[in-house]
Structure 1
Amino acid sequence: MRRLRGTVGELHARRPGVDVHRQVWLMSPIDTALVLGSAQEPNLAVGDPGDDAGVVRRRSGGGAVLVVPYDSVWIDVVISRDDPLWDEDMNRAPLWLGRVWVAALASLGVSGGEVSDCYRPGRWGRVACFAGRGPGEVLVNGAKAVGVSQSRTRVAARFQTLVYRRWAPGELLARLAVPPPQSEDLREALSIAAQPVDAPPDEIRTAFLTALRQ
């Protein structure tokens, strides 16, 4: 387990080493940034990736995520290709991680979590992560409680997970260059997209680490 502190861009830029083994990275960002998925166009954001507007691109796929210190909890898990948890199928690969998060949330009093088993972006999932559904992500009463994305190298897989303690769809929407009337449709979709987890960040991290060890 490693605690990593830095800007959102610096944390996303970290890479597993060639001698990687199973690791948990507890991310502590020091800034707020809109994070675009690997396939998203830069002009989706108000600002450009890497500039002072706080826009970052990650290597994993999916829609945009707004990372806000303290309001979100970001935990990554890295496994090597020879790890028993490795799965070549990109849909099956993160399902075990979703089950860990279901147990962690239950210990925090958030029950009824279900693990999404495939990619269902719907109308807006390719724009905003929490508006769609992906494999390994955890849903509570139809709303996303845990977002999951994944990227791979020749030797390792990196699973990135995010939980919102406070869901502020207006702040996300303000950073996306989506013109009206589409922006109003997206606003409505985002208003019911997420299930915040009302617990202190360290309690969420501890719950996850405990569930992972079980």
Structure 2
Amino acid sequence: MTRAERLLALLQVLRRHRRPVSGRVLAGELGVSLRTVYRDIASLQAQGADIDGEPGVGYVLRAGFMLPPLMFSQTELEALMLGFRWVGKFADAQLTTAASDALAKISAVLPAELRREMECTTLLVGPRTIVDRETVDMGVVRTAIRTESKLGIRYADEGRKTGGERIVWPFALGYFNDVRILAAWCEGRNDFRHFRTDRIVALERLDVRYPRRRAALLKAWRAAGADVRVTVR
């Protein structure tokens, strides 16, 4: 590991810890000596990294410090490209465009050598085996999730062409190879429910916030084990 890679790794470790972490713990995670950790922290502080702390107390990287994009490693760039390519194949048109815009922004600030490496990465995503059958705007669904707004939907259960009316509290979207699933709290069922987005016949984002926070719903959903046993009706 070069010194530059070691400094980047140290920053990444500090970003993972929200509370002060001792130099000994940092040395153990990085596989270096405690003396090297102290020297590297001093070097990063001299370069402008907002690292607070001292030996024997611990260190914390203050919120808001941004890593320069050009410090991406080749493996990180491969991970980004794989993610961008997956979104391009399996997400809706709005997300595909957003991914392309984000990729262009990253590419614009990379040095030429890393930009070529990113464009030539050989981590590929397989072809889609289905055709989009959604008739509603998924951007509306994502907006409702972000703003914690209720959704009014008309949902067609399997074997039915017309749907029943539901009021739901959407909090997550699951992207699978052959289907997309909306996870929500259903007011009518008073329970968590999963809805295939291609069976949502119509929807409307209501100008009403649901009474629980999205993070709380997600936590309760996971605690109930619903994230590992998705049942679609």
Larger Rg over CA atoms: 2
TM-score of the pair, normalised by structure 1: 0.24
TM-score of the pair, normalised by structure 2: 0.23
